[in-house]
Amino acid sequence: MGDKTRQERREERRLKKHRKMQQHGKGLAKTYRDAVLKRLRKRKKS
């Protein structure tokens, strides 16, 4: 298996998952902001 305990492996897995989520969250926030800005621009024209 290796010299790592089950706890250590679990911690590493959790950190990896967390990093992925953080990156995803940033992209999501950017998309959301763009969508909101677009909607605001459309409203001003009409």
How many angstroms separate the CA atoms of 38 and 33, rounded?
9
How many angstroms separate the CA atoms of 14 and 18, rounded?
6
Q: Is 2 left (phi over 0), alpha (psi -120 to 50) or beta?
A: left
Q: Which two tokens stand for residue 34?
A: 């763009």
Tell me which of 23 and 41 has the higher pLDDT.
41
How many angstroms separate the CA atoms of 33 and 26, rounded?
11
How many angstroms separate the CA atoms of 40 and 31, rounded?
14
Q: List, for residues 1-29, the tens digit of each pLDDT value.
A: 578 899 999 999 988 887 777 766 777 78
